[in-house]
Each structure stands twice: as C-alpha cells, then as structure tokens.
C-alpha cells in the first residue's frame, strides 16, 4: 500500500470536521442539545489528522506550510480548530463546537476541492527566516481567532433575532445567553487584535530592514484588516459599537479578511529562483 500523502490526511481531517457539523446539525434540527463531548471528540480527531497533514506538508516545503492558497486556508481552519479545542470547553458552548466544525469543514473541503489552489507549491517560502515564518503563522492564527469571532457573532445575531421576535424555543433554546455571547465575542476580538498586532510588529522589523521585500498591496491589505479590527475593538470598549452592530462587524470583517487572503498571497514576491514545486509529501 502506498504511503498516505499530506492531502489524504487533510481529507480525513475534513471528513471528521464534516461529521462534527452533521452531528451538530442533526441535534439542531431535532431541537435538542447535542452531545458536546461527541462533537469535541470528532473535532479533536479531525484536528489530529489536519496537524499531521500540515506537518507532512511543512516537512516537504521546508517551513511553515503557508506557500499557497490551499495551505493558507488549511492553516486558518487549523487555527480555528486549535482555539476551539483550547477554549471551547471553558465557554461551554455546544453550538460553538458545531460552528467550528462547520467552518473547518467548509474551509478544509474548499481547499481540497479546488485543485488550482494547490497547483503551485513553493519551498523555502520564507527564505529560511524564522521570524518571517513566525510573523506569517501568527497572522494566520489571528485569522483563525477572527473566524471563531465570526461564528460567535453569527450566534449572537441569531439570538438577537430570536429575542426581538419573542422566540426562545426550539433551536433558539440551544443558544447561549446574549450576554455570554457578547463577552466571548469581546475576548476573541481582543485576542485576535493582540495576535495580529504582534504578528505585524514582528513583520515590521523585517520590513524596515528591507522595505522592498514586501509588496505594497499586501502591506496595505494586512494593515487595513488590522486597523479595521482594532477600530472595532476600540469602539466596542468605548461602548460605541455594541449589540447587533458589533456582531455584524465581527462577521463582516472576517469575510473581508478571508477575501483578502487570495490577493495578498498572489501579490507576494516569489521565494526565489531556487523554489521548485514541492511534490506531495508522503508520510514517513
């Protein structure tokens, strides 16, 4: 039997995430609170497969696997799953597990189903500079945090809609209280902004040394995403962006951040002439 490739492991991961999403959807349709433990276990299995798949890819490309759209999207899904597995049990939000599974499955499957996203692989994408690698990984991880924030914002909007329309039964009964969702949303927003600020801080050191190494569009897009989230956080802390509008901002900004990944990726300078396409990495 030929060794399993990194993509195969990532397919396993996507299947697990999809199973988690189906489990959550079935519970939701039945109007019952699903087993948080079951969804957590399925997510954990998917996370293990995804981690291994990305590890194999990392070995093959000699660095953090952030060299093309496929890898960026996979890494974002992995970041969201990582965060949920750490903080999910503390929040005790069964629907957040369902949402995370849905997000990770959607991102993972989209990356796998579009061959173009993984057509060009690049090795040594960060030129062997661990700080730039750290900067990129941190930035993508913050996107994962913002992904979870978008999910929580979605739950907030659902709860808000239910309360304004006097519905607290059925699927609405499975939602956390609107105050809890607000508090969790604020924490995720603050964590995401802090991570992205740290990432930009690390990246700026390199950029100051070699300004020409960073494409202007990438610079503007990344700073734009950071400023938008930072502004949302500042307005939230001052009580100017609250409730439904804050949730809409949380969901809308993530969509914008996600859409900015592709142009940012394509605007990056190639790693160098010595960057041949990497073969699919088999497990060793």
Task: Pick the closer one to other proteins by CB: 164 or 209.
Answer: 164
Least Cβ distance, residue 187 to other proteins (angstroms): 13
Least Cβ distance, residue 191 to other proteins (angstroms): 17
Task: Pick the closer one to other proteins by CB: 173 or 205.
Answer: 173
Task: Pick the closer one to other proteins by CB: 168 or 255.
Answer: 168
Binding site for other proteins (CB under 8 A): 159, 163-164, 166-170, 172, 175-180, 182, 186, 236, 238-239, 242-246
Least Cβ distance, residue 26 to other proteins (angstroms): 21
Task: Pick the closer one to other proteins by CB: 105 or 181.
Answer: 181
Least Cβ distance, residue 174 to other proteins (angstroms): 11
Residue 116: how many CA atoms within 13 Å on its side-chain side?
2
Cα–Cα distance measured from residue 160 to residue 168, given in angstroms and rounded to the nearest whole number: 10
Least Cβ distance, residue 172 to other proteins (angstroms): 8
Task: Pick the closer one to other proteins by CB: 177 or 266.
Answer: 177
Backbone angles phi, psi at 238, to 5 degrees: -90, 0
Task: Pick the closer one to other proteins by CB: 168 or 205.
Answer: 168
Task: Pick the closer one to other proteins by CB: 89 or 282.
Answer: 89
CB 65 within 8 A of CB 58: yes
Residue with tokens 């994962």: 144
Least Cβ distance, residue 239 to other proteins (angstroms): 3
CB 13 within 8 A of CB 56: no
Least Cβ distance, residue 180 to other proteins (angstroms): 5
CB 250 within 8 A of CB 186: no
Cα–Cα distance measured from residue 201 to residue 206, given in angstroms and rounded to the nearest whole number: 9
Backbone angles phi, psi at 166, to 5 degrees: 60, 40
CB 111 within 8 A of CB 103: no
Task: Pick the closer one to other proteins by CB: 124 or 167.
Answer: 167
Least Cβ distance, residue 132 to other proteins (angstroms): 37
């Amino acid at each position: 039997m030929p060794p399993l490739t990194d993509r195969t492991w990532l397919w396993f991961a996507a299947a697990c995430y999809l199973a988690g999403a189906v489990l959550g959807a079935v519970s939701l349709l039945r109007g019952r609170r699903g087993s948080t433990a079951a969804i957590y276990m399925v997510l954990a299995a998917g996370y293990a497969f995804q981690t291994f798949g990305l590890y194999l890819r990392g070995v093959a490309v000699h660095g953090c696997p952030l060299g093309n759209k496929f890898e960026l999207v996979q890494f974002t899904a992995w970041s969201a799953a990582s965060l949920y597995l750490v903080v999910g049990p503390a929040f005790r939000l069964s629907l957040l597990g369902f949402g995370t599974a849905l997000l990770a499955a959607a991102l993972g499957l989209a990356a796998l189903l579009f061959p173009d996203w993984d057509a060009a692989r690049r090795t040594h994408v960060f030129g062997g500079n661990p700080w730039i690698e750290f900067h990129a990984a941190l930035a993508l991880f913050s996107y994962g945090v913002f992904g979870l924030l978008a999910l929580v914002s979605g739950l907030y909007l659902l709860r808000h809609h239910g309360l304004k329309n006097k519905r607290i039964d059925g699927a609405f009964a499975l939602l956390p209280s609107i105050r809890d969702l607000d508090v969790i949303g604020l924490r995720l927003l603050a964590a995401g902004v802090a991570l992205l600020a740290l990432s930009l801080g690390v990246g700026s050191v390199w950029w100051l040394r070699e300004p020409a190494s960073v494409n202007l569009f990438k610079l503007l897009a990344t700073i734009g995403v950071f400023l938008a989230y930072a502004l949302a956080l500042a307005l939230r802390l001052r009580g100017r962006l609250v409730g439904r509008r804050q949730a809409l901002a949380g969901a809308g900004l993530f969509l914008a951040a996600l859409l900015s990944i592709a142009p940012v990726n394509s605007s990056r300078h190639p790693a160098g002439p010595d960057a041949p396409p990497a073969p699919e990495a088999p497990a060793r």
